[in-house]
Structure 1
Amino acid sequence: MPQPRSSQICLSDTPYYHCVSRCVRRSFLCGIDSYSGQSYEHRREWVEERLLFLSSIFAIDICAYAVMSNHVHVVLHVDVQQVMAWTDSEVVERWHRLHKGTLLTQMFVRGDTLSQGEKLTLDDTIIEYRKRLHDISWLMGNLNEHIAREANKEDDCTGRFWEGRFKSQALLDDAALLACMAYVDLNPIRTKIANTLETSKHTSIKKRLESIKDPITTHSLMPFIGNPRQDMPKGITFSLKDYCELVDITGRIIREDKAGYIDQQQQPILQRLGLSDDQWLTLTTEFEKHFCYAAGAEQMMNQFKVHTGHQRIRGMSKAKTLLRCA
């Protein structure tokens, strides 16, 4: 039975979430349908462009993403402080980039004079828009509905394109966050549709590698900001270089289909995460298999379980073995 979204998302526990949307039946998001031989490869760009566009509107950052043949992975960061700092005008203008809004919000943007009653109604509307602009369900809805409409138009059909509601996993600590990001970035490698990270089209890791090789290249992903320190900017508290090197080594091991070895001395990022080589390889190849609504250390999982009203959460035993200090 599907769980209510309130039991899957709790911003007091974590602002980081892994979301997955899958196509229904034989619908293909992109790639080549082996049954019909038809190519849908161009749809990858639809998804990537739409996702990056939405991140410029919502107070939700993209940490990682991978556009696969019949599903999309995305790791998101909800920035409540950012949306609360926006002015009423900025909130309305951002919402109007996606939707028409109401007659009152259109009058507000034009600078028309409003009555006292209209101002009160407008205030309630802006409060609602502000909530939506940091709501993962609204971002995923705007992504999935747009792609479904475009795909149905191209296929000259109607009906459901996505399997149902998107799946959501709370990422409760740094180890869960980076393991899940690597799991997402390595999707094309695991499924053998790419041999290297550089050729993993329409993935976040490819964009990050391009930005390393060419500093002029820009992207809309949440940045890596290095080691924790005072007055830190917003971002992921690890080195981008360390992360990319670790994911690259992991990808080579996965691609060669053997139980490889990651030199801990060359990868201090694993030491900071408190993970062994075996734990890391298991997490980055089987993350979805072992965790359902949340992933993190046992204590964090127990807190999330209480805050979201779950009696039990699948993955607790794996949290003890895979996300404990090595």
Structure 2
Amino acid sequence: MYLKINQADIGYKTPLISNAEADLSLGDVCLLIGNNGVGKTTLIKSILHQTPLLNGQISIQNKNVKDLSVKEIAENISIVFSKAVVPQNYTVEDLISLGKYIYYPYYFELKKKDKTEVSEIINELDLNQYKNVLLKNLSDGNLQKAFIGRALTQSSPIIILDEPTTHLDEKNKIIILKILRKLAKEQHKLILFSSHDWRLAKEFADKIWYVKDQQLYSGIVEDILLQHEELTNVSLFKVNENFVAPKISAPPFHKEMLYSLLQKNFQKDLSYLSFDFNNGFWIISGKQLHQQCKSFEEITNFIKNIH
């Protein structure tokens, strides 16, 4: 595990989150959710060691974050806050280039390979036409992409985003979340982002950290949602145009969760499979296959092994 929280009490004088246990690996996309004031931002600041733990440990690559220097933390973690100050006289290219200055003093000029990497990131985020535009003249969606670009140029294995889709319309939310998932899977980044819009975000996250009643519940998205009735709200929709769905016989929310899980993780045609939910178990059948699974994690592992 690349990022690990071990028996941590998170807060200030008294814990907002008690005895937290969770871990994430490179390539994971994790959604951090919870009501206002439960400690989501404090948890992020604790990972950055901006807010010391009351008890326990947070480690990156088996190193306690409290033993890491500010520079070492910056080399491991890129952060995008939703309320970031927008430098008024900076262009998109200026902002994205800033990520490289964790490696140099500010009076140094970036090397040719750094400038090439900045250009590649601008292109990846589809910001070429805005590279010389002042940040104050950008739309909210493109401004958020520019801040994500700055985080990418740090070349850090972990990217943490605090409410990255706040104030964005649905189209731009989907664009941002697709970019984050692509980064995790293609560049092997660990992505942790907080959001109130869990019904949309669950389509893109592998795991959830859910803060409630001073506890941190962590696990695969679909399993955590099913364990908490307040998070269930059926809203089946398709975001992966290449996905061909299997036959699913289940209550509406269980069907939604399975559909979400499968289209998120599998590009191939799954129409030859049938999924039947019965007495708390999923029965998977098709093409001489017959498997019983208790959790969505078991389903994911099973399908990965037959492809």
Scaled by the length of structure 2, the TM-score of the pair is: 0.28
Scaled by the length of structure 1, the TM-score of the pair is: 0.27
